[in-house]
Amino acid sequence: MAKPAILTVDDDPEVLQAVARDLRHQYGARFRVVRANSGSEALEALQQLKLRNESVALLLTDERMPQMTGVEFTEQAATIFPDAKRVLLTAYADTNAAIRAINTAKLDYYLLKPWDPPEEQLYPVLDDLLDEWLASFHPAFEGIRVIGDRWSAYSHQVKNFLARNQVPYQWLDIELETEANRLLSYATSEHKPQLPLVLFPDGVRLEKPSNLQIADKIGLQTQAERPFYDLVIIGGGPAGLAAAVYGASEGLSTVMIEREAPGGQAGSSSRIENYLGFPVGLSGGDLARRAVTQAKRFGVEILTPQEAVGIGVQEPYRLVKLADGSEISSRAVLIATGVSWRRLNLPGSEKLTGKGIYYGAAQTEALACSNEDVYLVGGANSAGQAAMYFSRYARQVNMLVRGDSLAKSMSQYLIDQIEATDNISVKLQTSVVGVKGENSLEAITIANAQTGEKQTLDAKSLFIFIGAKPQTEWLEGLLERNEQGFILSGPDLKHDGHRPRGWKLERDPFLLETSVPGIFVAGDVRHNSIKRVASGVGEGSIAIMFIHRYLSEVRA
């Protein structure tokens, strides 16, 4: 397969030659550098690349060019290669135009001339953008292929696992694509393969595989390398990842256990636009990828898919029991398991899960919903982000919101975007009260709480983004929790001014410490937490400070 291309455009021959030289020096081993001296010439080059089925990773364009400005070219180029990263080279006088282009041309970055030295001014920016592009790049006819049925819960599970772990794959629907049937016939020997069938580049094929089987094949770490650590982190969402980075960077031997994929619920967010330091926003997957890279750089072991099923106390150690029967011993434990989507409590909904009813999964299933009507349940940021993402594919996105206003639970920037998007409709004070379907979802019944009116609608896809349910039943009898299952910590543990039952230390529990000394909690699973990515990151980092204090006690 040909190398992905980096296209640079400038009408000044000397500048164009200098840019191309710097790009080849840094990226020539992985990318092909293509240059053009005008916007029209560059558009023609992109058209030829498209005809040859080649890929373009990055557009690096000068703003001041005759006949066609860099912004105008970028807007037209986006229709040919919409996934290519877009960077504008501009003089200081043109920065306002560049800032406006963030919205009009979906610009990823702008750089001021001159960019010398490139090691400081050019390469760090392009490195980040190219890494982000590569993380979502799906090379044609290479890599993992998944053959399955859109209405199969097992097929959805495989797709969702690969997508959440940012593993590129090609989806081949057995009902829609002749290539899927052709590959299936090649795989058929003594018996008809069970779907989904996962084909790997080395010729290995797995029938109806579990997440663990896929993880072993693609090289994810599922077993701890050592029997003992300073810190075990259970949960790989923003709080867990932040704690992993801060803990390991400060010298704690750290292992993180994640049962699905790093990033947690936030990792499935299609776009987060109010996270500090990212003016054009980033996806939850991008945030998770960057955090995982950072954590591994400091030596954190990340076990996925792996699940903690119990914690034992054997002073001064904490023993974390895993689903496969193994144990990991540590001095301290941080629980950052987050929350799960609340399930629909309707007759027939469970059998249709993964067959038209999905919890989260916007990025996994959006493409399959092209030109269809999609229904989303929920009115918080996660639902708003998903609605915006679906609007790029679906004919109509229908948000079903139980409350009487989006403003109660959704950020204003998302409300503004939804109101400005023609193919998104919001139905307030509306709930799903019935679902219908045999092998897949066929219809839903919705009810208006104000009028009592019920309506049955044809529906193929229903996506649930409601509530925050902690899965902490496995901690019953060990840690104090509230009635909803959220874990109590710090001052919340005091009963009539008294310390938790069984608390043997002379001090009070630290701010994020649970009812068992040495076991801490951070993020959405904590009682009274703020359900935002930034607050989860903050709690994860703060927890490390208190873990250090605890470790100084047990080591004394």
β-pairing verdict for 197-199 and 144-148: antiparallel
Domain 228-339+469-555 has CATH 1.10.10.410: no
DSSP-based helix, strand, coil % in the chain, nearest 5: 35, 25, 45
Of 5, 76, 18, the C-alpha closest to 44 is 76
Residue 450: CB atoms within 10 Å:
10
- What is the C-alpha to C-alpha distance for residues 411 and 384, in angstroms, rounded to an integer? 9
- What is the C-alpha to C-alpha distance for residues 323 and 262, in angstroms, rounded to an integer? 18
Q: What is the DSSP string of 371-399?
A: TSEEEEE--SHHHHHHHHHHTTT-SEEEE
Angle between helices 533-555 and 238-249 (to 10 degrees): 40
- What is the C-alpha to C-alpha distance for residues 357 and 298, in angstroms, rounded to an integer? 39
Q: What is the pLDDT of residue 108?
A: 87
State which H helix or E strand residue 418 sits in.
helix 412-419
- What is the C-alpha to C-alpha distance for residues 342 and 338, in angstroms, rounded to an integer? 13
Residues 6+ apart with CB under 8 A from 82: none
Global pTM value: 0.75
- What is the C-alpha to C-alpha distance for residues 85 and 483, in angstroms, rounded to an integer? 47
- What CATH number labels 144-208? 3.40.30.10
Residue 41: CB atoms within 10 Å:
14
State which H helix or E strand residue 198 sits in.
strand 197-199
DSSP 495: B
Q: What is the pLDDT of residue 280?
A: 82
- What is the C-alpha to C-alpha distance for residues 461 and 448, in angstroms, rounded to an integer? 20
Q: Which CATH number fits domain 5-136: 3.40.640.10, 3.40.50.2300, 3.40.50.300, 3.40.50.10490?
A: 3.40.50.2300
- What is the C-alpha to C-alpha distance for residues 551 and 197, in angstroms, rounded to an integer? 48
- What is the C-alpha to C-alpha distance for residues 355 and 148, in angstroms, rounded to an integer? 12
Q: What is the pLDDT of residue 111?
A: 82
Q: Extract the tokens encoding 160.
A: 């969702």
- What is the C-alpha to C-alpha distance for residues 102 and 385, in angstroms, rounded to an integer? 18
- What is the C-alpha to C-alpha distance for residues 316 and 540, in angstroms, rounded to an integer? 23
- What is the C-alpha to C-alpha distance for residues 198 and 502, in angstroms, rounded to an integer? 51
CA–centroid distance for 168 within its chain: 14
- What CATH number labels 357-464? 3.50.50.60
- What is the C-alpha to C-alpha distance for residues 461 and 41, in angstroms, rounded to an integer? 43
Shared fold status for 5-136 and 144-208: no
Q: What is the pLDDT of residue 189?
A: 59
- What is the C-alpha to C-alpha distance for residues 268 and 362, in angstroms, rounded to an integer? 7
Domain residue ranges of the chain, discontinuous segments joined by +: 5-136, 144-208, 228-339+469-555, 357-464
Query: What are the average pLDDT values for consecutive 10-residue runs of the chain, which has 556 residues?
Result: 89 92 94 94 85 83 87 89 89 69 79 83 91 83 82 93 89 86 72 85 86 93 94 96 96 96 84 85 88 95 95 94 94 95 89 92 86 94 92 95 91 94 95 93 94 93 89 94 94 83 89 96 94 92 97 83
Of 108, 44, 106, the C-alpha closest to 78 is 106
Q: What is the DSSP string of 10-76?
A: -SSHHHHHHHHHHHHHHHTTTSEEEEESSHHHHHHHHHHHHHTT--EEEEEEES--SSS-HHHHHHH
Contact (CB, 8 A) for 52 and 78: no
Contact (CB, 8 A) for 470 and 524: yes
